[in-house]
Structure 1
């Protein structure tokens, strides 16, 4: 069993060397078929969602293709090298999203909010609801689609048939009114 694993590890080293020396697409395809699904599963087990894991796995394999010359079989196995790249890609992606790493997250229950803060939040929510209700219907409709429906201005334009400039103007006016109402 151990000799099979060693032979397989040597085969992966040979594949990386073929990619490095000859841009061997067949060797890359074999590495991709073997490692891409394992990298994705590894990333998902470490807390990444499926789309982030898929994106990182693709980037890992692209990195393997472009940086095969940096692989040193004396320092690590191909698997160790690939999974180290995967870990680094995940960290980079999370930093771009400004999401904390799981080990940086606080553990345990969150503290109960202060009653005064809770009352203030309820009052502000009520005031915002009232200010929204007082907006002209055309403006309120667009604000609700943009902020509660999570649609882009272009998506709203496609849905309503209104020109993009009209949508932007109405939303800007509505937000101005809300800002003044909330002072």
Structure 2
């Protein structure tokens, strides 16, 4: 999230977006690097949400799926195998599975399989790289601007690797409150991103 993380990941990866994502994943896997995860979250969160919206999810469902997907990425980062495919392929597979799981739970709704939707290319683009670097530098500040209760939920979920039900139990609040605070925090972070576009 800070420029040092992005710069180091870029230096390790030669400024190739796919390689930068691999370097960030390696840092999250090796030392639970919060800034590296934040950079991944801010890059993939809006893309996963967009894909879910194109697949027929409403905004609230799409945001919930993004939260679910990124929590899986945080918890299961050690399962990512670079030799089996790109970070984006792995994350979009998690997203596809999360979407299918949600649709199965509400089986009466028809859906369009996101396998049929076009994914964004990871080919390097100078303008995209500049925007990504600019976003990364502002993530830490955006996190600091979150209200304490929302920041605490994000910390418990992504830093302490707790599930939403575990967070609810620890904070002695309803599960719905945890989900609501996560949704609000994600919306505020998303708004910060949109300010940059």
Query: Does residue 77 of structure 2 align to residue 68 of structure 1?
Result: yes
Q: Is the 8 A contact 2:55 2:112 kept in 1?
A: no
> Which residue of 2 is the match for residue 13 of structure 1?
22
Largest Rg, 1 or 2:
1
TM-superposed deviation, 1:8: 1.1
1:1-183 equivalences under 5 Å are 7-102=16-111
Q: Is the 8 A contact 2:18 2:87 kept in 1?
A: yes
Task: Summarize deviations over 1:58-98 as a string: whole Å, max 9, x none.
Answer: 11000000000000111110011111100100000111122
Q: Which has the higher contact order (CA 8 A, sep 6+)?
A: 2
Provide the aligned C-alpha RMSD in A: 2.1
Q: Is the 8 A contact 2:24 2:36 kept in 1?
A: yes
Unaligned runs of 5+ in 2: 1-12, 114-197
Cα distance in 2 between the residues matched to 1:42 and 1:99: 21
TM-superposed deviation, 1:47: 1.1
Q: Is the 8 A contact 1:9 1:78 kept in 2?
A: yes
Q: Is the 8 A contact 1:91 1:101 kept in 2?
A: no
TM-superposed deviation, 1:102: 2.4
Task: Summarize deviations over 1:111-147 as a string: whole Å, max 9, x none.
Answer: xxxxxxxxxxxxxxxxxxxxxxxxxxxxxxxxxxxxx
Runs of 4 or more above 2 Å deviation: 98-104
Q: Is the 8 A contact 2:69 2:94 kept in 1?
A: yes
Cα 1:95/1:12, change in 2 over 3 Å? same
Cα distance in 1 between the residues matched to 2:100 and 2:111: 11
Q: Give the SS at the match of 1:67.
A: helix
